[in-house]
Amino acid sequence: MALTGLIRKLWPKWILLFLFWTVVGLANAGQLYLSRPNIGWGLALWRALADWYVFAVLSIPALWVARRFPFSAGQWRLALVAHLISSALFSLSWLTLRAAMEQWRTRGEMDPLTFSSAFSQALLATLFFILLIYWGIIVGQHAFAYYEKFHEREVKAAELETRLTQARLQALQMQLNPHFLFNTLNAISSLMHKDVEEADRMIVHLSDLLRYALESTEAQEVPLRKELHFLDRYLQIQQARFGDRLVVRREVSDETLDASVPNLVLQPLVENAIEHGIAPHARTGEIVLRSRRSGNRLELEVQDNGTGLPDDEPLVDGIGLSNTRARLLQLYGPAQELQLANGGGGGLVVRVSIPWRAAPAAGMGPKTEISQPPFAS
């Protein structure tokens, strides 16, 4: 079975090799026919194809020798000796076969060629050419082998880079999940002393969120529709924590719902808005979620009505924002952008701009209806 598989694997290469030698032989036959008017087409075709088909047969062991004795740094002397011996055998074999074929071709003529005379004529006329053909085969095999190794290294390097990127993204996502869990458990803990039933409902919502986070660990991108569905469940927990103090508005373009976005990209931005823009104040806090398409870009915004960025303090990203920056950089490189700016009417606006890409239909599953949550205005 292994031999059969090897034959099937090598068969196309042998066909290409045969076609190559045939084309060379036909070209040589045409040149011989045109340059020597006293030689007919049949004789020209015979001589040319006989020459090159013998080369084709002898190229098989020559290619084996080339693979067996490559001119590498550690064994170039051995390879040189092996190829000198091989080239001598290659030449002797070609001269022997061609002399035998010429003796057979002229056997019925008035003055047939003897084997020795045919061998001598071929030796004097073609020895240098035969050696040139041998070393051409060897150089060609080495060039092809080096190309294959180079291509293989490129493929392996690309695979390693992909695996490294996936590992980094998964590590960042695994870092984000405990951070989100820690903050949510704090919220549940603070509610436990005020409303046990509401805290119990928050635990149920948290269970749903954790189930989603675990199931989607391998997915680095999801449709915005699915991301918003997850965010609704998260905001239900926060609504139980803040009550009427939290108002969420959504200005989401319908055409963006099926666009690909990084998995869990909005949750840390909304969490940052809640913790820094709403939680420190007694007044009603408002968060606005926006999405729109701008040419070949998808733009996402999370805006709060807090105090915004202080003018006299350097900006320091927390875990959520720094994690989001790192994930965007890994996924999109320089084609992404995350900016923080004070809103025109106060508060902070976080803008994310990434390349527009429609989510694969096969990976989206059934569409989740996105509607304004009950706490939105």
34 and 143 part of one domain: yes
Note whether residue 124 is domain-resident: yes
32 and 148 part of one domain: yes
- What range does the domain containing 84 cover? 2-156
Residue 363 — very low, low, confident or very high, per pLDDT cuts 50/70/90? Answer: very low
20 and 145 part of one domain: yes
Cross-strand bridge partners of residue 259: 358
Count of domains observed in the chain: 2
Residue 169 — very low, low, confident or very high, per pLDDT cuts 50/70/90? Answer: low
152 and 228 part of one domain: no
147 and 225 part of one domain: no
CA-to-CA dists, residue 338 to 73, 328, 342, angstroms = 51, 8, 14
Residue 255, pLDDT > 80, answer yes
Tens digit of each residue's pLDDT (9 = 90 or more) over 20-38: 778 877 887 777 677 777 7
Note whether residue 83 is domain-resident: yes
The SS3 assignment for 156 reads helix
CA distance 151 to 178: 41
224 and 151 part of one domain: no
Residue 162, pLDDT > 60, answer yes
141 and 47 part of one domain: yes
Residue 102, pLDDT > 90, answer no
CA distance 63 to 248: 72
Query: Last residue of a domain, which of 140, 156, 172?
Result: 156
148 and 225 part of one domain: no
Residue 111 — very low, low, confident or very high, per pLDDT cuts 50/70/90? Answer: confident
Q: What is the pLDDT of residue 275?
A: 83
226 and 116 part of one domain: no
Note whether residue 328 is domain-resident: yes
Query: Last residue of a domain, which of 156, 188, 211?
Result: 156
Report if pTM > 0.95.
no
H or E element in which residue 59 lies: helix 41-68
Note whether residue 246 is domain-resident: yes
CATH of the domain at 228: 3.30.565.10
Residue 277, pLDDT > 70, answer yes
Tens digit of each residue's pLDDT (9 = 90 or more) over 280-328: 887 888 999 999 999 999 999 999 988 888 776 666 677 778 878 888 8
Mean pLDDT (the chain) is 79
- Give yes or no for a contact between 284 and 247, defined as CB atoms under 8 angstroms apart: yes
Note whether residue 186 is domain-resident: no
Residue 110, pLDDT > 70, answer yes
Query: Last residue of a domain, which of 156, 173, 207?
Result: 156
Note whether residue 202 is domain-resident: no
Q: What is the pLDDT of residue 361?
A: 65
61 and 132 part of one domain: yes
150 and 6 part of one domain: yes
22 and 147 part of one domain: yes
Residue 364 — very low, low, confident or very high, per pLDDT cuts 50/70/90? Answer: very low
Tens digit of each residue's pLDDT (9 = 90 or more) over 69-86: 888 777 888 888 888 888
**Percentage of the residues of the chain whose pLDDT score is greater than 70:** 83
Note whether residue 324 is domain-resident: yes
- Give yes or no for a contact between 340 and 281, defined as CB atoms under 8 angstroms apart: no
Closest C-alpha among 152, 154, 8, 145 to residue 71? 145
Tens digit of each residue's pLDDT (9 = 90 or more) over 344-355: 777 899 999 999
Note whether residue 127 is domain-resident: yes
For 138, the token pair is 């060897």
CA distance 19 to 25: 10
Could you list the beta-strand ranges (E) of the chain.
Answer: 221-223, 246-252, 260-262, 285-294, 297-304, 337-342, 348-355
Residue 373 — very low, low, confident or very high, per pLDDT cuts 50/70/90? Answer: very low
Q: What is the pLDDT of residue 366?
A: 42
Closest C-alpha among 281, 208, 282, 285 to residue 239? 285
Phi-psi bin for 313: left (phi > 0), alpha (psi -120 to 50), beta?
beta
Q: What is the pLDDT of residue 104?
A: 82
